[in-house]
Amino acid sequence: MTVEKTKQIVMDGLGLKERNSGVYYGQWMGSEGKKTIESFCPINGSFLGSVTQGEESDYEKVIIAAQKAFKVWSVIPAPRRGEIIGEIGAELLKNKELLGKLVSLEVGKTISEGAGEIQEAIDIANFAVGLSRQLYGLTIASERPDHRLMEQWHPLGTIGVITSFNFPAAVWAWNALIAAVVGNVTIWKPSSSALLTAVAVSRIANRVMERNGLPPIFLLVCGSGRTVGNLLVNDKRVSLISFTGSTKVGRSVGEQTAARFGKSILELGGNNCAVVTSKAQIDLAVKGVAFGAMATAGQRCTSTRRVLVHSSIYPEFIAKLTEVYSKVNIGSPLDSSVIVGPLVNNGAVEDFKKTVTEAKEQGGRILFGGKTITIPQNENGCFVQPTIIEVPKQKGIVLEETFAPILYLMKFDSMDEAISIHNGVPQGLSSAIFSTDMREIELFISSLGSDCGIVNVNTSTAGAEIGGAFGGEKETGGGRESGSDSWKYYARRQTVTINYGYDIPLSQGIVFPV
Ligand code: NAD
């Protein structure tokens, strides 16, 4: 289907107009006189719609609404909060196809990946429903007679959620839905490259709150990072900043939040590597690496950016991988046979070109791709060839994350060498080993193996499930979101001591005879 036809169906279906309000504080901000940010489709460069930006005075309204809403929402029993999140999941499911296509139009994901993005938000809603009855605290044996010692988890209050363009709905859901079930209120500052998705998702969540007569807990403030983002980051009334984006911006967000003793969750860039050993099932490894490197046109934080291949299988692996690359259909992601769509915008295409040039200057040899592409009927689209570059040594540009389908290929001879190269980058998000050897696998997942937050065995670096905690180490920021016990990041732990006796016995055997 063409961009224009899809746009018409999606915008009508979701009630989006050419100009949409981008600020919600219990009501949608009036659009008159407001500056807008325009959204363009990376498939053909056409205009999709615009969203109004908030100014400082609008931001103030959002904060005040958040503080008021917290007083009501946080005291509603958690299982009831869970039911409401469940309703949001159901509404997302009803709109899954339209929202998925909007993601495709706005950031260029394939139809299947766009739908998967919304499914991830639905999965998180379901997870949050279960969690609403499992926000457990510990009871601890007290050393004092007639004393009870226990932990409880309180919501933090107002949480700022700043998101990247590449998961324009799912990352909001990871944060906002888990934070909500814990009892918090969130203020979302979405990426300026995915504002229509943010408006559509926020409307759905807020409609559920409104029809239940509940206060607005899913607030939205669109605007640039430097203005609105900066206000959120430096606001003492915002207890936690959950930031997903590049290491460069995340470093400064982390520093500013820490300077005011705010909490932060940092989900930053990755430089993910797959190790293919001599004991690998080669066809499986080729598939896993191809998916990891090319899915979402290499614009996942978990995209495979480096592959280390044992020298004994190196020629065979290259032959098989380049064959897969040569068969990949690149084009409009609205066409279901396409598996590599466009990059998000022209800036990303420039970054791709610059990186390819630098890699060549630094001794890299292009084994596949390396060029931009013009697609008939979508001449203004942001298309590039998935690219494989063989590099003699891990240095320079290879140490950086370029958000494009560029895969660096290197050779190794021993597991020690592989682990050393694998860990020899500043980032630590996702990793993979392809092997059938138990000892190689166990070494890779041991404390002396991969230094990443996520390790995969015989599957891709990309494609995490929501049930596990998601995040990475080193310059990836150390945050954890989504499943497992990540909910604790959105809560403050309180240790409670209750004396139900008639005396004041002291701990550590201390006496205080008054
Ligand atoms: P980006 O850093 O350019 O922008 C992220 C967000 O930060 C946007 O909403 C932007 O408006 C905002 N921002 C910019 N300047 C700001 C400032 N001074 N103060 C506050 N906010 C500011 O990232 P992007 O290009 O949208 O996304 C791609 C990056 O995100 C990649 O590096 C990718 O690896 C990373 N990412 C990481 C994860 C993870 O979980 N580790 C997940 C998705 C994406």
With H, G, I as helix, E, B as strand and everything else as coil, classify residue 455: strand
In the reported structure, the alpha carbon of residue 238 is separated from the centroid of ligand 1 by a whole-number distance in angstroms of 19
Separation of alpha carbons 125 and 465, rounded Å: 14
**Helix or strand run (H / E) with residue 177:** helix 170-182
> Tell me, what's the pLDDT at 411?
97
Mutational test site, ligand 1, from 120, 232, 246, 248, max ligand atoms within 8 Å of CB: 246
Q: With 90 as the cut, is the pLDDT of residue 455 above it?
A: yes
In the reported structure, the alpha carbon of residue 163 is separated from the centroid of ligand 1 by a whole-number distance in angstroms of 6
- Which residue, by CA, sits nearest to atom 24 of ligand 1? 164
Closest among 23, 83, 19, 15 to 53, alpha carbons compared? 23
CB 343 within 8 A of CB 382: yes
| Residue-averaged pLDDT of the chain | 97
With H, G, I as helix, E, B as strand and everything else as coil, classify residue 474: strand
> Tell me, what's the pLDDT at 359?
98
> Tell me, what's the pLDDT at 398?
98
> Tell me, what's the pLDDT at 31?
84
Q: Is the CB of 230 under 6 A from ligand 1?
A: yes
The count of other CB atoms within 10 Å of the CB of residue 33 is 6
Separation of alpha carbons 511 and 149, rounded Å: 20
Helices (H), 424-478: 438-445
Please give the structure tokens belonging to residue 367.
Answer: 């084994």
Q: Is the CB of 192 under 6 A from ligand 1?
A: yes
The count of other CB atoms within 10 Å of the CB of residue 259 is 10
> Tell me, what's the pLDDT at 96?
98
Separation of alpha carbons 53 and 64, rounded Å: 18
Helices (H), 399-437: 415-423
> Tell me, what's the pLDDT at 181?
98
Q: With 90 as the cut, is the pLDDT of residue 1 above it?
A: no
Q: With 90 as the cut, is the pLDDT of residue 32 above it?
A: no
Beta-bridge partner residues of 251: none
> Tell me, what's the pLDDT at 488?
98
Q: Is the CB of 244 under 6 A from ligand 1?
A: yes
Q: With 90 as the cut, is the pLDDT of residue 406 above it?
A: yes
Walk me through the domains of the chain, giving residue ranges and CATH numbers: 3-268+477-493 (3.40.605.10), 272-465 (3.40.309.10)
Closest ligand 1 atom number to CA of residue 256: 19
In the reported structure, the alpha carbon of residue 392 is separated from the centroid of ligand 1 by a whole-number distance in angstroms of 31
Q: With 90 as the cut, is the pLDDT of residue 9 above it?
A: yes
CB 334 within 8 A of CB 1: yes
pLDDT tens-digit readout, 84-139: 999 999 999 999 999 999 999 999 999 999 999 999 999 999 999 999 999 999 99
CB 430 within 8 A of CB 451: no
Q: Is the CB of 267 under 6 A from ligand 1?
A: yes
CB 233 within 8 A of CB 256: yes
> Tell me, what's the pLDDT at 106?
98
Write out the catalytic residue numbers.
267, 301
In the reported structure, the alpha carbon of residue 149 is separated from the centroid of ligand 1 by a whole-number distance in angstroms of 41
Q: With 90 as the cut, is the pLDDT of residue 144 above it?
A: yes
Residue 112, Cβ density class (10 Å: 0-12 exposed, 13-18 middle, ≥19 buried): middle
Q: Is the CB of 44 under 6 A from ligand 1?
A: no
Residue 511, Cβ density class (10 Å: 0-12 exposed, 13-18 middle, ≥19 buried): exposed
With H, G, I as helix, E, B as strand and everything else as coil, classify residue 351: helix
pLDDT tens-digit readout, 340-395: 999 999 999 999 999 999 999 999 999 999 999 999 989 999 999 999 999 999 99
Q: Where do we find the tokens 């494609």? A: 463
In the reported structure, the alpha carbon of residue 186 is separated from the centroid of ligand 1 by a whole-number distance in angstroms of 18
Please give the structure tokens belonging to residue 283.
Answer: 């066809």
Q: If pLDDT is split at 50, 70 and 90, which confidence band does 148 have?
A: very high
Separation of alpha carbons 406 and 421, rounded Å: 18
Separation of alpha carbons 109 and 99, rounded Å: 12
pLDDT tens-digit readout, 439-453: 999 999 999 999 999
Dmax (CA) for the chain in angstroms is: 89
Separation of alpha carbons 420 and 437, rounded Å: 19
The dihedral sign for the CA sequence 215, 236, 124, 128: negative
Closest among 495, 491, 430, 502 to 155, alpha carbons compared? 491
pLDDT tens-digit readout, 284-313: 999 999 999 999 999 999 999 999 999 999
Closest ligand 1 atom number to CA of residue 403: 31
CB 388 within 8 A of CB 409: yes
Q: Which amino acid is at 100?
A: G
Mean pLDDT of 224-242: 97
In the reported structure, the alpha carbon of residue 286 is separated from the centroid of ligand 1 by a whole-number distance in angstroms of 30
Mutational test site, ligand 1, from 39, 107, 164, max ligand atoms within 8 Å of CB: 164
Q: With 90 as the cut, is the pLDDT of residue 15 above it?
A: yes
CB 404 within 8 A of CB 385: no
Q: Which amino acid is at 30?
A: G
> Tell me, what's the pLDDT at 72?
98
Mutational test site, ligand 1, from 113, 120, 226, 244, max ligand atoms within 8 Å of CB: 244
Q: Is the CB of 403 under 6 A from ligand 1?
A: yes
Separation of alpha carbons 98 and 117, rounded Å: 12
> Tell me, what's the pLDDT at 22?
97
CB 218 within 8 A of CB 176: yes
In the reported structure, the alpha carbon of residue 87 is separated from the centroid of ligand 1 by a whole-number distance in angstroms of 29
Q: Is the CB of 164 under 6 A from ligand 1?
A: yes
Q: How far is CA 493 from CA 7, 137, 488, 490, in A?
A: 46, 9, 8, 10
CB 275 within 8 A of CB 445: no
Q: If pLDDT is split at 50, 70 and 90, which confidence band does 240 have?
A: very high
Closest ligand 1 atom number to CA of residue 165: 26
